[in-house]
Chains A and B, each alone.
Chain A
Amino acid sequence: MDWAGWAVFGLIATTALTAAMIAAQLLGLTRLDLPLLLGTILTENPDRARVAGFFIHLGVGQGFALGYALFFVLLGRATWWLGGLLGLLHSAVALTVLVPLLAGVHPRMASYRAGPASRAVLEPPGLLGLNYGPRTPLVTIVMHLIYGVALGVLLRIG
């Protein structure tokens, strides 16, 4: 297991993913904003939340990178296409499980069952994150492909 590689390249891959996501937002492709979603768990100020969320996202990305690294070790190889396949699987899980479930635990995210007493101001992402724009699934898949391919190229199993 290449621990040093994991530490450095996990960070690089997550940063690349985050940069791709911010670019997609600036291009008006999606309203999905993971740093904001994660940071607003801690604060309602969106500007501060983005900073906090960015670091939380880096930590989460590092955790997922560990999973990728272990997977590569188990298979005995790390290639760009294996990373890409894992990225596809990762994006599918994120879209169908992780992001929709966020509404159940996030203190500032409303659910589809929210009533007038709800003070949660973040709209729920919905299935595949479609509430954040129709291109959200596509953007998420591309982001995770970048993440997976980056790790597949950069990580070593020795």
Chain B
Amino acid sequence: MGGPDPDQPPIEDYGLLGDTRLAALVSSAGAIDWMCVPYFDGQPVFGRLVGGPEAGTFRLGPANRSTVVSRRYRHESATLETTWETATGRLTLTEGMVAEVTGRLMPPTLLVRRLTATGGPIEAVVEFDPRLGEQHRRPDSRRHKEILVCGWPGLAIALHTAPHIAITPGQPTTVRIEPGEPFTVALAVAAREPLVHVPPAAAWDALEADERRWRAWCMDVHQSLPRRDVVLRSLLTLQLLTYSPSGAPVAAPTTSLPEVLGGTRNWDYRYAWPRDASIGVAAFLGVGKQDEARRFMAWLLTATRLDRPRMPVLLTLFGRHPRPERVLDQWPGYARSVPVRDGNGAAEQHQLDGYGWVIDAAWLLTKSGHPLYGETWRAMAGFADTVAARWREPDAGIWEVRGDRAHYVHSKLMGWLALDRALRIADNHRISRRRKARWAAERDALAVDIIERGYDPARQTFTRSYGSADLDAALLVLPLLGVEPVDSPRVRGTIDAIRRELTADGPLLYRYPPGQDGLPGTEGAFLPCSFWLVQAMAATGAVDEATELFDALIDLGSSLGLYGEEITPVDGRYLGNFPQALTHATLVQAALALRDVDGSSRRL
């Protein structure tokens, strides 16, 4: 098996291509180094990102020395455009995946890539090296007329180029691109069904039609959002990371991109967290996308059905429990970061905060004029009962710490939120008085418990867990909950203490004191926490500071407006799985917080 790849691009170099069923990561060299088929958590067919050179890649780009002069998504779309300057002219790669294939004889996965030249003819290279799964299995290749068909049991990939060139898997092929004569590649995938061959010209037309649909989708998003262009990119990214057949929000399309370069904090994020779905409900409701918000709630409802009234921490795209976590022994990992993991062991944890996020999302839906169906309300009431019964237990917390469970203050706050929002929903939905009284009693007891055991009066701050002196940046949600007035000394003291003690550099925050999770190495700053800080500052009246912070965070986005989970304070390199739905959702929420305190868009 392959060793570490010395030429690996930084994580932030990658762009996201997607069709809402699966995703691909493409570097600025034009190499697709990550793509699982036939859905987000399927097997990688291009896995070089964490699997090394033998795990396959699909590169289209200049054959000789070149410089990237421009890289962007086409206006309000999911189509990516990269332009290189070469010795003989400029070469542009335009690429995307076709999202809407329903009702037409189209392959469910259709990747379209087009090279165009300006200024003069340019030598380009096509390196097509698909390898399937953990063992990097090479395909059985055959040609059907002008189409290259690569097959494995139950899976086939067809590569069709126009003009036709003979491509052999694993062997780079050069092609001369003349100005005015684009070179188009269509890649179709078929899993457990016949291949549908699409001529490259028709595939290109389908991609352009998709572009128009994305633009139309963006037009409905509220105009009053600050930095609307950035927010739109986050919303489009969230859409691309939502599995359309079930509505599941995928946390990230990758596994084991490290939280410490060369370290062991490498997790599989190709699953859906109810927490992310709930934050997605709030984000999409806030920008005027009611249908998307309701879809997340519908997914939450169906996916949690087998576990109710317990809420699982994470689920597969179809609401199943993830496969057991295991290590891919032979995979070298990104930047020698091993192990590479498949599956996620956090699925078995008890995390109290999840209930708070979900019931709060239901409350937001009712507040925005969508009364809950009886079944939805019964599910939420069941979750509230679980919180009332279990809040005194320790849990793994939002950070999914894999050591001993603890009484995390953030978990208790979110437990309070769960009961409080359930009581608010109960004002307009049928529930027994006895149940309401129990929720109210437990909510009040929780509030007393949090202040008695989770607050450090000497430092005027809530702490990470009962009896601990550490802080937790997740507590920045405090002013958004209503458990304490926003101008309370406890709220302000906690925000100040977190800014003081967990600062990484500039706008960046660590989620907790580095190294306090029992794992080796020091992780980077956790981006969602900084976006929560924007919300906290906006909520407590520090609007100008919040705006400055938001702008500084926007500057930290990748050149394509994508965000990972963490960032290295020293050199700004991204860490963790990429792109990260939670970061993008909190970015949207931060923008909404700024808009809402402003009343109207005073900037931009």
A residues at B contact (CB < 8 Å): 25, 28-31, 45-47, 110-119, 121-124, 126, 130-131, 133-134
Q: Are A124 and B245 in contact, with the CB atoms below 8 A?
A: yes
Q: Are B295 and A121 in contact, with the CB atoms below 8 A?
A: yes
Q: Are B298 and A121 in contact, with the CB atoms below 8 A?
A: yes
Q: Are B375 and A131 in contact, with the CB atoms below 8 A?
A: no
User: Which residues of B are found within 8 Å of A133, using beta-carbon distances?
Assistant: 306, 320
A118 and B100 alpha carbons, distance in the complex (Å): 9
Which parts of B316-375 form the interface with A (CB within 8 Å)?
Answer: 318-320, 373-375
Residue of B nearest to A27 (CB): B306
Q: Are A45 and B373 in contact, with the CB atoms below 8 A?
A: yes
Q: Check B102 for interface membership: any CB of A closer than 8 A.
A: yes
User: Which residues of A are found within 8 Å of B213, using beta-carbon distances?
Assistant: 116-117
Q: Are B239 and A116 in contact, with the CB atoms below 8 A?
A: yes
User: Which residues of B are found within 8 Å of A130, using beta-carbon distances?
Assistant: 320
- Given contacts A31-B302, A121-B298, are A131 and B319 in contact (CB under 8 A)? yes
Q: Check B242 for interface membership: any CB of A closer than 8 A.
A: yes
Q: Which of A25, A29, A115 contacts B244 (CB 8 A)?
A: A115
Q: Are A112 and B245 in contact, with the CB atoms below 8 A?
A: yes
A45 and B21 alpha carbons, distance in the complex (Å): 27
CB distance from A52 to the nearest CB of B (A): 14
Apart from the given pairs A110-B244, A112-B21, A112-B38, 19 other A-B contacts in the complex at a CB distance below 8 Å: A30-B306, A45-B373, A47-B374, A47-B375, A110-B246, A113-B108, A114-B245, A115-B21, A115-B99, A115-B100, A115-B101, A116-B244, A118-B102, A122-B302, A123-B299, A131-B246, A131-B319, A131-B320, A133-B320
Q: Mark B277-321, 1 if CB is under 8 A from A, else 0.
A: 000000000000001001100110010011110000000001110
Which parts of B241-259 form the interface with A (CB within 8 Å)?
Answer: 242, 244-247
Residue of B nearest to A118 (CB): B244
Q: Check B19 for interface membership: any CB of A closer than 8 A.
A: yes
CB distance from A113 to the nearest CB of B (A): 5
A29 and B239 alpha carbons, distance in the complex (Å): 31
| Interface size grouping (class) on chain B | 35 or more
User: Which residues of A are found within 8 Å of B308, using beta-carbon distances?
Assistant: 28
CB distance from B215 to the nearest CB of A (A): 13
Q: Are A47 and B373 in contact, with the CB atoms below 8 A?
A: yes
Q: Mark B224-245, 1 if CB is under 8 A from A, else 0.
A: 0000000000000001001011
Q: Are A119 and B375 in contact, with the CB atoms below 8 A?
A: no
- Given contacts A123-B319, A124-B245, A131-B318, are A114 and B102 in contact (CB under 8 A)? yes
CB distance from B596 to the nearest CB of A (A): 26
- Given contacts A110-B244, A114-B245, A131-B319, are A46 and B102 in contact (CB under 8 A)? no
Q: Check B465 for interface membership: any CB of A closer than 8 A.
A: no
User: Which residues of A are found within 8 Å of B239, using beta-carbon distances?
Assistant: 116
Residue of A nearest to B18 (CB): A116
A114 and B99 alpha carbons, distance in the complex (Å): 8
Q: Are B242 and A116 in contact, with the CB atoms below 8 A?
A: yes
A123 and B302 alpha carbons, distance in the complex (Å): 8
Residue of A nearest to B192 (CB): A127
User: Which residues of A are found within 8 Å of B217, using beta-carbon distances?
Assistant: 116
Q: Which of A113, A119, A121, A126 contacts B101 (CB 8 A)?
A: A113
User: Which residues of B are found within 8 Å of A123, using beta-carbon distances?
Assistant: 245-247, 299, 302, 318-319
Identify 29 residue pairs between A and B in the complex whose beta-carbon atoms are under 8 Å apart, listed by A's number: A31-B302, A45-B373, A46-B373, A46-B376, A47-B374, A112-B21, A112-B38, A112-B245, A113-B106, A113-B108, A114-B20, A114-B21, A115-B19, A115-B20, A115-B99, A115-B100, A115-B101, A115-B102, A116-B99, A116-B213, A116-B217, A117-B100, A118-B102, A118-B245, A123-B246, A126-B318, A131-B246, A133-B320, A134-B320
Which parts of B74-114 form the interface with A (CB within 8 Å)?
Answer: 99-102, 106, 108
A45 and B306 alpha carbons, distance in the complex (Å): 20
Q: Which of B19, B242, B306, B373 contacts A31 (CB 8 A)?
A: B306
User: Which residues of A are found within 8 Å of B319, using beta-carbon distances?
Assistant: 31, 123, 131
Q: Which of A45, A110, A116, A133 has the most CB of B within 10 A?
A: A116
